[in-house]
Structure 1
Amino acid sequence: MRDEAEWIALRNRNRDWLRPWEATAPPGTADAPVSFRTFIRKENSMWRARRSFPMVIEKDGRLVGRVTLGRIEWGAERGGSLGYWVSQDEAGHGIAPAAVVLMSEYAFGQGLHRIEVAIRPENSASLSVARKLDLREEGMRQSYLYIDGAWRDHRIFAATSAERRSGEWWTGVSSNVSG
């Protein structure tokens, strides 16, 4: 709760930067706005149920983004969908690839087998993250998520715990990022 003011300021500063990439509810189905306290309560509940692993990204003690593994399925699938964003003023400095690696390693360590990342074809920054991490591209999902006023296509990338080559991810990120 102590991060509320910083979180709200970060989101407000990056509203236009994130609009083309963040999923929203289609018209007529929008959820009512929630308070920060309700948002945190829901995130904590999903964490305890092991349905989502939401985390903030910090740099030098400041909030600069978010990485989440959501839509987690256990049982035979043992996978989830990974999403992330970094503030505009921190983009391009290797923070997103590092966050994806750390979240993936955490998820695999918790017993998940597969992570998936959905990226809009126009999102060159996120496509760069997928390339840096050598994520396997699996194809295109047509009209996959409602974003910025329309249903948008997404390229799907994935990695499994068997593919991760422990230790090599971080080395690859360190040698392939700028800043």
Structure 2
Amino acid sequence: MVHVWPLTLRDGELVLRPLRRRDRGAFERLRERNRDWLRPWDAADPDRPRSTLPFPVLRRWNEQQARRGAYLPFALEVHGRLVGQITAGPLQYGALRTAVLGYWIDRDQAGAGLVPRAAALVIDHLFAEMGMHRVEVTVRPENAPSLRVVEKLHLRPEGLRRGAIFVDGAWRDHLVFALTAEEVVTDAEGRGVLARLRTEFGADTPAT
């Protein structure tokens, strides 16, 4: 198992990297512009459902957790422009070796295939470099674009968790999807999920 942070993952014009201090303006504008688009899917603390962490606090927390090996929090960048985030975490070690994946994307970039590619990059890193055994994604049944992402990545459906996560003002049901390392054939470069994605959907990997 090898954990390195800061870490950058790349696939052509798509770059996954840590948030930087100078991202603050772009990040805050991106979140504000996508507020209504993301509201139905954003998890929240039920005691403070409308509160959001200030960018400096969020970035500092991300860095602390990433250096501890508890999370891999990436900003998504395309052609030098911030377009979303993808996070693996919490990372569980020992007998579990499991990571939970979460992501969001700018509405203007939805359908461009960026989320499946980003998720594939992260999953390949978790399996090939960090020795993780299982990756899990939870999705609201109403979230058709995210269901298409897990379908493209060949994550197995494992059932429904009732009232699993507090989202959009209530405890919402979530479908569970998972993938284990044994289900992926990895090439010499450590790419298995991404290689399969490209084989099935082509270089640009268009989403829904």
Shift of 1:178: 2.3
Preserved CA contact (<8 Å) 1:132 1:172: no
Alpha-carbon spacing, 1:20–1:30, altered in 2? closer, same or farther (3 Å) = closer
In the alignment, what sits opposite 1:25? Answer: 45
Match of 2:176 in 1: 156
State the percentage of identical aligned residues: 40
Partners of 1:101 and 1:111 in 2: how far apart?
15
Runs of 4+ residues over 6 Å off in structure 1: none
- What's 1:178 paired with? 206
Shift of 1:162: 1.6
> Aligned-pair distance for 1:173?
2.2
In the alignment, does 2:165 pair up with 1:145? yes
- Alignment counterpart, residue 104 of structure 1, candidates 92, 115, 123: 123
Give the gaps of 5 or more residues in structure 1. none
Shift of 1:70: 1.1
Q: Quote how far apart the aligned CAs of 1:38 are.
A: 1.7
Contact kept in structure 2, 1:94 and 1:173, CA below 8 Å: no
Greater mean deviation of Cα atoms: 104-113 or 146-155:
104-113
Q: Secondary structure at the match of 2:174?
A: strand
- 1:171 Cα shift? 3.5
In structure 2, stretches of 5+ residues that fail to align are: 1-20
TM-score, normalisation: structure 2: 0.81
Query: Could you tell me which amino acid in structure 1 is paired with residue 26 of structure 2?
Result: E
Give, as a single letter, the amino acid of the residue that structure 2 aligns with 1:138: E
Match among 79, 95, 100 for residue 76 of structure 1: 95
- CA spacing shift, 1:121–1:31, aligned 2, 3 Å: closer
Give the deviation of 1:29 after TM superposition.
4.8
Which of 56, 60, 79 lines up with 2:75 in the alignment?
56
Name the SS of the counterpart of 2:123 in structure 1. Answer: helix
